[in-house]
Structure 1
Amino acid sequence: MAKLVVTTSGTTIVVKNGDSVLVDIVGGGTVTIVAAPDANIKNLKIDFGGNDHVADEVEIDLSTFQSYSLHIDINDYDPTDSVVLNNAFNRHVDPGKEDEYNFEYIGANGATFNGFLRAKDKGEKDFTDQPPPIVICFAKGTIIDTTLGPTPVECLTEGDLVRTRDNDDQPIRWIGRRRLDSLELARRPNLAPVRIHTGALGRGLPHVDLTVSPQHRILVEGWQAELHFGESEILVPAIALVNGKSVRTLPDIDQITYYHLLFDQHEIITANGAPTESMLTGEMALLALDQEAQHEIQMLFESRQEPSGVQRAARPILRQRDAAIFKVA
């Protein structure tokens, strides 16, 4: 049983049964953990080094392991840290064992194994604690229409001009980012992304698969909106469009990075060819952000003599329970 200390980002560590990995990278970084060839690893410990508030990411390549009841302990884990379980599926948290994150994986010999990850910080890492907030944002890789052409959302910067449906080209005032790892997605399953496949919205839209957070709203047009709600265009949350085929949730994804794009007002912008919303600073959306982000937005709106920071919606917003008529084929 060895204690392995990681001080350099990008390192790959080979472990054996009972090993302990201490992540001590100045400024934060990433480490990949693989099993030694033919090793029967039953227990593994990962120590993130305490509440240092720098982002460390540990990626465990489960395709190199081959053990039943693989037991992984996490110690001194803070909200900036993350664990990625590559090749894991059937992830779940059992009632009464909220500090255990269960999974299955395909091992090095091609067989299916099981394992669980346990948080060891005095119960504070309950994988099901607190109601999940609402997150409204794009996923990494989404292509946004800007004055410089189609641009990946992760490449945008504040001040870039984005083409909008109502107000010509508008500068981005603020960009928020939120990364959810497999642990947080397990304890907050209703934050799992929704994927809208090419052409699912009709007229070939989106042009490329579009992945968004479940409460992100898509602009829907057509006779259903006019007939049932007296509006030619309505914003519908992506989760309400899920049909299990052309629009579906991604519950088994290992990680997702969401992006918020904020403008002076709520805008309709184009993402992967489809009309969708920018961030709307309503009360619930603001509560979903951390305190630092809330403060940034508050200062932004105060500078424009709008201290509330609450915007008016660009289109009528349909509640999820009223959106069944918009489910796409």
Structure 2
Amino acid sequence: MGWIGLRDGNDGWFKADPRLTETGADRVLHRGSLVVETRISAETRPQTLLAFRRTWPMPGLFTIQALPQGGIVLVDAQGDDICHGTLPLKNDGRLDILRLTYSWDSAEGWARLTLERPETDQVETVALNATLPLPVDDLNAIFAHGCNFEVDEEVTFLALSDKIEPVGPLPALTAQVPIMTDRGERPAGEIRRGDIVVTDDGQRVPVLQVVKRTVPARGSFRPIRLRAPYFKLTQDIVVSPQQRLVMHGSEVEYMFGREAVLVPARHLVNDRSAFQAKGPDLVSYHHLLLPGHEAVLAAGCALESLYIGRMRRKPEAIAASILADFDRNRLPEHAKPVWPVLKPFEAVTLATSRAA
């Protein structure tokens, strides 16, 4: 099925497979992914990012906490069984967004906790010492009814999938974004492996792979609409907040000493040239993997293609990502981004300068 639960503030829903909620059913989710997106408080206090008491088949407690001395701790206890894991986290006082993904497969006997910082390419994962299935009744109470659980005020949203969700590189183009190819513009969702795309500097390069992922349209996943004629666009396009635009111009050369830089779309939001889009609870993003991380033309705007760095050297990272089904020996190696990626304050400064 995919995503079966979403809670955003006071709103939420839960749509599990009906077989899980039938009388006499197992009533546990043996496999899935639980996503918590939050900001880490600058205060020196523990944060309970999520906590709930297990009620079936025996009492227990599930908690994810951020500790002030650094670290994300997950504990899942049921009777005499305890599953736990700790991820290091440096609390430097910055209010960066963190996305935590707890994935488990009790039939296979494994679980992992992954920390991602959407504002960077940082991904850290720890394997847990054991795994326990999660009770459907408890999950229903959290997502459908908003009761019997605790979350910190900094938590943006909770999401639940009955699949093992990938972590790492994310696609960032909605299906209708027009991409320039050797046969003219085509929607991103229709481009296939082997097609030829035209880069922002006029090259023609082959598409090595295409990727797609459906995610909750919340928090760092919430789509952004970029408006024409800003950013050299010939029409509005909708992209992920992580999609990076190639920006040129005299301000770029003066401020950063480079011909061009990459700026994430989230830093361009000003409710005029870019704003958060409205739509369904879920959004599907697509992307193109190119040999050298070339920039493509999307409705006239230069956008980076999918950046995977040197992941091909990391089998475990590949296996946990959207690239898991591809032969890693045939994947490209992106030594560094095609242009420097601006830090958040640099991107905001540039965006403000251009809007003035």
Shorter chain as denominator, the TM-score bin is 0.5 to 0.7
**Other-structure match for 2:193:** 158
What does residue range 81-92 of structure 1 map to in structure 2 within 5 Å?
Answer: none
**Other-structure match for 2:181:** 146
Distance 1:198 1:244, change over 3 A: same
**Contact persistence 2:176–2:187 (CA under 8 A):** yes
**Other-structure match for 2:5:** none
Cα deviations by residue, 1:92-137 (Å, 9 ceiling, x for unpaired): xxx87889xxxxxxxxxxxxxxxxxxx936449875379x866352
Distance 1:136 1:142, change over 3 A: same
Shift of 1:166: 4.2
**Contact persistence 1:282–1:311 (CA under 8 A):** yes
Residue 348 of structure 2, aligned match among 307, 321, 324: 324
SS of aligned partner of 1:228? helix
Tell me, in whole angstroms, the C-alpha distance in 2 between the residues paired with 1:75 and 1:214: 34
**Other-structure match for 2:146:** none
**Contact persistence 1:176–1:261 (CA under 8 A):** yes
Q: Gaps (5+ residues) in structure 1?
A: 1-27, 30-43, 52-73, 81-94, 100-118
The CA RMSD measured in Å over matched residues stands at: 4.0
**Other-structure match for 1:48:** 17
Q: Which one is further off, 240-249 or 292-301?
A: 292-301
**Contact persistence 1:140–1:256 (CA under 8 A):** no
Tell me, in whole angstroms, the C-alpha distance in 2 between the residues paired with 1:277 and 1:310: 12
Q: What TM-score does the superposition give when structure 2 sets the normalisation length?
A: 0.52
Structure 1 counterpart of 2:136, one-letter code = K
Distance 1:176 1:289, change over 3 A: farther
Distance 1:262 1:227, change over 3 A: same
Distance 1:207 1:168, change over 3 A: same
Shift of 1:168: 1.5
Distance 1:249 1:313, change over 3 A: same
Distance 1:141 1:78, change over 3 A: farther
Tell me, in whole angstroms, the C-alpha distance in 2 between the residues paired with 1:146 and 1:159: 11
- Work out whether 1:281 is the aligned partner of 2:250: no
Cα deviations by residue, 1:61-109 (Å, 9 ceiling, x for unpaired): xxxxxxxxxxxxx9969769xxxxxxxxxxxxxx87889xxxxxxxxxx
Which of 1 and 2 has higher RCO (CA within 8 Å, sep 6+)? 2
Residue 248 of structure 1, aligned match among 266, 275, 294: 275
What does residue range 216-227 of structure 1 map to in structure 2 within 5 Å?
Answer: 216-227=243-254
> How many equivalent residue pairs?
219
Tell me, in whole angstroms, the C-alpha distance in 1 between the residues paired with 2:346 and 2:16: 47
Tell me, in whole angstroms, the C-alpha distance in 1 between the residues paired with 2:220 and 2:336: 26
Shift of 1:237: 0.8
**Contact persistence 2:318–2:324 (CA under 8 A):** no
Tell me, in whole angstroms, the C-alpha distance in 2 between the residues paired with 1:97 and 1:137: 31
Structure 2 counterpart of 1:238, one-letter code = A
**Contact persistence 2:310–2:335 (CA under 8 A):** no
**Other-structure match for 1:120:** 136
What does residue range 1-329 of structure 1 map to in structure 2 within 5 Å?
Answer: 46-49=15-18, 120=136, 122-123=138-139, 128=158, 135-166=170-201, 168-180=203-215, 184-186=216-218, 189-201=219-231, 205-250=232-277, 253-282=280-309, 290-291=320-321, 293-294=323-324, 296=326, 298-301=328-331, 309-327=333-351, 328-329=354-355
Tell me, in whole angstroms, the C-alpha distance in 2 between the residues paired with 1:248 and 1:289: 34
Structure 2 counterpart of 1:255, one-letter code = L
Shift of 1:207: 0.7
Q: Which one is further off, 167-176 or 275-284?
A: 275-284
SS of aligned partner of 2:258? coil
Shift of 1:295: 5.2
Distance 1:45 1:156, change over 3 A: closer
Q: What TM-score does the superposition give when structure 1 sets the normalisation length?
A: 0.56
Tell me, in whole angstroms, the C-alpha distance in 2 between the residues paired with 1:258 and 1:224: 31
Tell me, in whole angstroms, the C-alpha distance in 1 between the residues paired with 2:299 and 2:280: 20
**Contact persistence 2:169–2:321 (CA under 8 A):** no
Q: Give the share of equivalent positions with the same residue, in percent.
A: 23
Tell me, in whole angstroms, the C-alpha distance in 2 between the residues paired with 1:259 and 1:233: 24
**Contact persistence 1:50–1:78 (CA under 8 A):** no
Tell me, in whole angstroms, the C-alpha distance in 1 between the residues paired with 2:292 and 2:204: 12
Shift of 1:169: 0.7
SS of aligned partner of 1:214? coil
Shift of 1:244: 1.9
SS of aligned partner of 1:296? coil
Structure 2 counterpart of 1:185, one-letter code = A
Cα deviations by residue, 1:266-314 (Å, 9 ceiling, x for unpaired): 101100111111111136999699446245262323xxxx6xx444321
**Other-structure match for 1:92:** none
Shift of 1:49: 4.8
